[in-house]
Structure 1
């Protein structure tokens, strides 16, 4: 379906990595700039290339693009400016909707996403003509399609229409004449790719390959793409496949989601995985989420930067007795002084490692609880009211949180309930801003929380405008492609 070939300023990088075991999957060292004529021949070559794609996938979620800041800091769930925060203008501007086209994090996220796309495209361009066995051809194709779809899904929601990169091209000058595809064209491509991918990738892998894209990941991602477009019947059908498969289940205790050693747990449909004590393969989540000044207290070493701290607003959103509220710490004890700086226990108090970016703390891209709640949302929309399956799905999540079952709700009251549940179930996993956009509530919700004349607890002090529902296209992309790529309205 992609008819446009582009090579942006972020040129194709082929990263081949060796090894197939779980540790090797995370620890492999890059062999940079391998020529395509000397590579992409054997099963080992394609496996190495996929490991390189997964390396780029991991960087999308914890590299300098700061995915969590672009989606959580943007929302009413976190802020950089609560007590203990210590950020720079680039982060503060995202928090306050004052970012400019040269914001370093917007540029870095764009770059890292297109690196992932380029690596996936290299695999897709070469796999059919290779001597790889049919079974592995199917698997590797499905994995590459799913990885690419995830990157595009993030990009189109953040930036709007984007360049669709179909395959590697070598003439970068020619690419400058090709503009942005519309969001509708992007979504059509993602649907086609994931319909294909879910038939190609396996249900699961052996322990050595935990973290690769599975059938459940492809189905879950496709369901989210349908839900975002308000294709509720199609979304419900995809989510039902995940639920009916019996592959996933909620962990009995919510806090266990954030304990050490949770890679590949029963609730994890897809994670970006990291490894401590291995050069440059750890995550920076504990360092970024720990309140400034708390190094040696909340986190042992590596710095505590307070980039992403819970707002008073999200802390107050929980009902009395909700077990999930304990994931928010209200502060920490510094000697005899209590420092009132909220932080997220699930990131700060877990697998902190031996310094900066040395944590083994993974990022949940998709959890089974998220799918249950979106399934309930889609069913309510399809049936214009909650049916039994919708109640079952939402009440499974509420039961683990120590809350009573819901019953007897109308279409509108159930919709309100599921929106609230989606917020408080996974408030710090990159969903809230996208949920507000998807349900057309971003302007209403955010502007209702503006603090008159002063700083709001959600990071904004003046109402936001419709054009700010999208980020600006990074100046680097616009400058190098003018007039093909036109800047988003308002920037």
Structure 2
């Protein structure tokens, strides 16, 4: 049986058994776990467990977590406060920085992240003592470490100090009782996991197993971690490995990134992959991103909710001739009349399947163009000036976009240029809020775009944000379940 077919079977089983109730999970019910006595013995057991980890990985990025809402909707690229937006309170509050600790999306994201962590901890802690071949030990342990590193990297950027759990736990209370681990210690574990994984992962897989973490994924993610920590020489070293390996390259046509059948393309360093036509394996992006009222027009069937729409701010940020602007649709035609409601073509128009949550639209976790731009950013920071390689990287991305080469910039003007290019290249792929946090521009950028009243600006905030709002609140049920204030709430909430 191929990896993809096994994945299909396991995702259906695991989603049905483990994701039915966010609240139920967080109220101390056992984490999905199979007894060590009758599992974790054979190569097939561990292969199945790794597939289960990838199913949890997919739930972090869609399902009821809506990763995109916490990272894109939070910033200035997307909103639901324009024509065609649903107006759902939990999402609107994230958009407007009004969320409270019991926000359902924060709870779901936390839940699904720790389900993923629990599953990979089970694998990592047991695989060394198993009798399977060393080749599989290294492979499965390394994939699991990349998944764990990514989960903690997301958590620590969104919430700050979080429980650092690296061994099996029998229920969710096990993570709460250890309390919150300082950010610096979480980053130490992230770097350790990625460094160890990079020593054993292959550069690529065959067509039957694309979508798994590779050497390039581990190195790329490690480079972003170092860039976030402002360790620029280390970031340069990791990004250079990815670029010099020539495993990945830019697709010649930007729009091709979002066409059907692009799983495992040359630019995709790591994707969360979905499959249309099989119940439970499709993504929900088209339904969630298509404007309300566009059912049967922008998407073939199922609801359209407008949860994540491009803002006027990002639409107006493109210069004339930039082909990437075409990824933003300005509206659709209904009953012969044009309806002005922006949406993201890359998710709505491609491979939409036959109904709700049945799309083949994937999510790029890591894309080569973004690595080129962050490499250019790191080089400029490390040298305090842009050199030939920094220019080469940013201009490769600009040339595909139909724009001219940059030259003659200094450290400050190049930094501004690369920040802008990062925004324009992948505005709807879960990077913008993290980019603003990494570059210490969260308050500056968002507070420069405050509207005159709730809903009057497509950016989505009606008053300046405060420093504490750079982190989300810890989900309320996590705090209350920990008991005796073992886990304290973030300041300001």
Fold in common (TM above 0.5): yes
3-state SS in 2 of match to 1:340: strand
The alignment status of 1:20 with 2:2, answered yes or no, reads yes
3-state SS in 2 of match to 1:343: strand
Name the TM-score, length of structure 1 as normaliser.
0.95
Other-structure match for 1:113: 113
3-state SS in 2 of match to 1:330: strand
Distance 1:223 1:175, change over 3 A: closer
Conserved? CA contact 2:118–2:169, under 8 Å: no
Distance 1:171 1:330, change over 3 A: closer
Rounded Cα–Cα distance in structure 1 between residues aligned with 2:172 and 2:319: 55
Give the C-alpha shift of residue 27 in structure 1: 3.8
Distance 1:172 1:280, change over 3 A: closer
Conserved? CA contact 1:25–1:209, under 8 Å: no
The alignment status of 1:251 with 2:233, answered yes or no, reads no
Q: How big is each residue's C-alpha offset from its partner over 1:420-469, in whole Å with a ceiling of 9 and x where there is no partner?
A: 00000000000000000000001000000012345322001111000000
Paired positions, count: 473
3-state SS in 2 of match to 1:52: helix
Rounded Cα–Cα distance in structure 1 between residues aligned with 2:470 and 2:371: 24
Other-structure match for 1:185: 185
Conserved? CA contact 1:141–1:200, under 8 Å: no
Rounded Cα–Cα distance in structure 2 between residues aligned with 1:172 and 1:347: 34
Rounded Cα–Cα distance in structure 1 between residues aligned with 2:94 and 2:183: 23
Conserved? CA contact 1:26–1:274, under 8 Å: no
Give the C-alpha shift of residue 65 in structure 1: 1.1
Q: Equivalent residues in 2 for 1:46-85 (5 A)?
A: 46-85=46-85
Q: How big is each residue's C-alpha offset from its partner over 1:106-130, in whole Å with a ceiling of 9 and x where there is no partner?
A: 0000000000000000000110000
Rounded Cα–Cα distance in structure 1 between residues aligned with 2:200 and 2:140: 8
Distance 1:256 1:125, change over 3 A: same
Give the C-alpha shift of residue 169 in structure 1: 2.7
3-state SS in 2 of match to 1:30: helix
Other-structure match for 2:491: 489
The alignment status of 1:310 with 2:316, answered yes or no, reads no
3-state SS in 1 of match to 2:326: helix
Other-structure match for 2:357: 357
Q: Would you identify which runs of 4 or more consecutive aligned residues in structure 1 move more than 6 Å?
A: none
Rounded Cα–Cα distance in structure 2 between residues aligned with 1:86 and 1:395: 38
Other-structure match for 1:150: 150
Distance 1:378 1:335, change over 3 A: same
The alignment status of 1:30 with 2:18, answered yes or no, reads no
Q: For structure 1, list consecutive stretches of 5 or more residues without a partner in the other structure.
A: 1-18
Q: For structure 2, list consecutive stretches of 5 or more residues without a partner in the other structure.
A: 18-32
Give the C-alpha shift of residue 171 in structure 1: 7.2
Give the C-alpha shift of residue 174 in structure 1: 6.0
Conserved? CA contact 2:298–2:349, under 8 Å: yes
Rounded Cα–Cα distance in structure 1 between residues aligned with 2:489 and 2:284: 31
Give the C-alpha shift of residue 302 in structure 1: 1.2
Q: Equivalent residues in 2 for 1:81-230 (5 A)?
A: 81-170=81-170, 175-230=175-230
Deviates more, 1:434-443 or 1:23-32: 23-32
After superposition, the CA RMSD in angstroms is 1.2
3-state SS in 1 of match to 2:416: helix
Other-structure match for 1:263: 263
Rounded Cα–Cα distance in structure 1 between residues aligned with 2:146 and 2:123: 12
Deviates more, 1:359-368 or 1:25-34: 25-34
Distance 1:175 1:269, change over 3 A: closer
Rounded Cα–Cα distance in structure 1 between residues aligned with 2:316 and 2:409: 23
3-state SS in 2 of match to 1:200: coil
Rounded Cα–Cα distance in structure 2 between residues aligned with 1:34 and 1:432: 38
Give the C-alpha shift of residue 21 in structure 1: 3.5
Rounded Cα–Cα distance in structure 2 between residues aligned with 1:480 and 1:450: 36
Distance 1:471 1:391, change over 3 A: same
Give the C-alpha shift of residue 22 in structure 1: 2.5
Q: How big is each residue's C-alpha offset from its partner over 1:231-266, in whole Å with a ceiling of 9 and x where there is no partner?
A: 010001000000000100000000000000000000
Other-structure match for 1:296: 296
Other-structure match for 2:416: 416
Q: How big is each residue's C-alpha offset from its partner over 1:312-340, in whole Å with a ceiling of 9 and x where there is no partner?
A: 00000001000000000001111221110
Give the C-alpha shift of residue 20 in structure 1: 3.1
3-state SS in 1 of match to 2:162: coil
Deviates more, 1:401-410 or 1:170-179: 170-179
Q: How big is each residue's C-alpha offset from its partner over 1:166-202, in whole Å with a ceiling of 9 and x where there is no partner?
A: 1113376665432101111111111111111101111
Deviates more, 1:161-170 or 1:71-80: 161-170
Rounded Cα–Cα distance in structure 1 between residues aligned with 2:172 and 2:90: 29
Conserved? CA contact 1:270–1:367, under 8 Å: yes
